[in-house]
Amino acid sequence: MHKTLSQYLVEQQRQGFLLSEDLKALIEGIARSCKSIAHVVAKGALGGVLGNQGTDNVQGEAQKKMDVISNNILLQANEWTGHLAGMASEEMDTIYKIPNSYPKGKYLLLFDPLDGSSNIDVNVSIGTIFSILKAPEDSLNRELTEADFLQAGSQQVAAGYALYGPQTLLMLTIGHGVVCFTLDKDVGTWLLTQENIQIPTETKEFAINMSNSRHWDTPVQNYIHDCLAGTTGPRGKDFNMRWVASMVAEVHRILQRGGIFLYPWDKRDPNKAGKLRLMYEANPMSFLIEQAGGASVDTVNRILDIQPSQLHQRVSVILGSKNEVETVKQYFV
């Protein structure tokens, strides 16, 4: 018999891990939200949810209908529970304060409601990424501010993602390894299907958008050139390349069989540190990757050590199999 998500979380409490009842309930609420999003995503054209919304998000990116729907599902499902002091989303300009009609909690929830938006209309795997932080202790007695969310990724108390693919999966860490739950759609329950997930330290697989190669910084060009040189090159082995254009799908593949994912700064917009958002994407994914024995850097610095200065801060991301990440870092020295 597979354990349910609730059973797993209760067992973690009984084993003495610092998992409060509020955090347990919050994780269960997020999981229910992801189940609702999965249901809507699965309807596709039948539910009229494909295509663009006709608006842009705070980053100036065109929003898909499902971006907005997913964002609203997460807000509405979690604002009233009493577990949260506030929320922040990649799709919203600023933080979302819990309405005064609801009790306030001691956690902060940050999320990318639907990662991989460009894949929505072509039925390729997409997902929801989430990160949970503790709110400052005095936040219950004052107005919540954006500064309260600007905590280093190492301060996360839990993180994970839902993957909407051939199976609907929930990957989770509460700081004691990474586990995977599969949604049993017959009964609507998340069931534990993998524990203690570990990323192989060595790999022969990289994921990067090769169409941007002419814009890359020299160290990235050199690294990929050496990988492509195969057994006759300095790396002495043949590499395979993968690119799904969905961070959830890329990270999930790495968690299952190893690899390295690169989304570095490039010269197209030199004033931006990268494409991916630190708070909604890089931090939660880096937490998962490290908990599974991998590594995650912004080229040389550990991503979880970065002190955020802005809610929608961008960052270069290189993550995956530990030894390969260390190899890439040497190209930047």
Give the C-alpha separation, 84 to 329, whole Å. Answer: 38
Question: Can you say which residues are annotated as belonging to the binding site?
Answer: 90, 112, 114-118, 209, 275, 281
- Beta-carbon contacts of 109 under 8 Å, excluding residues fewer than 6 positions away, are 26, 30, 74, 78, 84, 86, 87, 88, 130, 131, 132
Tell me the C-alpha distance between 155 and 325, whole Å: 22
State how far the Cα of 327 lies from the Cα of 58, in Å rounded to an integer. Answer: 35
Question: Is residue 10 a contact partner of residue 25, using CB atoms and an 8 Å limit?
Answer: no
Q: Give the helix ranges, DSSP H, for the chain.
A: 5-14, 21-43, 65-78, 218-228, 247-257, 283-291, 322-331
Q: How far is residue 244 from each of residues 59, 120, 147, measured CA to CA in Å? A: 21, 12, 34
What's the DSSP call for residue 136?
A: P
Residue ranges at the known binding site for Mg(2+): 90, 112, 114-115, 281
Side-chain half-sphere exposure of 322, counting CA atoms within 13 A: 10
Type of residue at 226: D
What string of DSSP letters covers 246-291? -HHHHHHHHHHH--EEEE--BTTSTTSS-SEEIIIIIHHHHHHHHH
Beta bridge partners of 169: 163, 182
Annotated binding-site members for substrate: 115-118, 209, 275
Residue 16 class from Cβ within 10 Å (0-12 exposed, 13-18 middle, 19+ buried)? exposed
Helix (H, G, I), strand (E, B) or coil at 206: strand
Cα distance between residue 11 and residue 42, in whole Å? 32
* Dist CA 81 CA 104 (whole Å): 8
Q: Which helix (H) or strand (E) holds 205?
A: strand 205-207
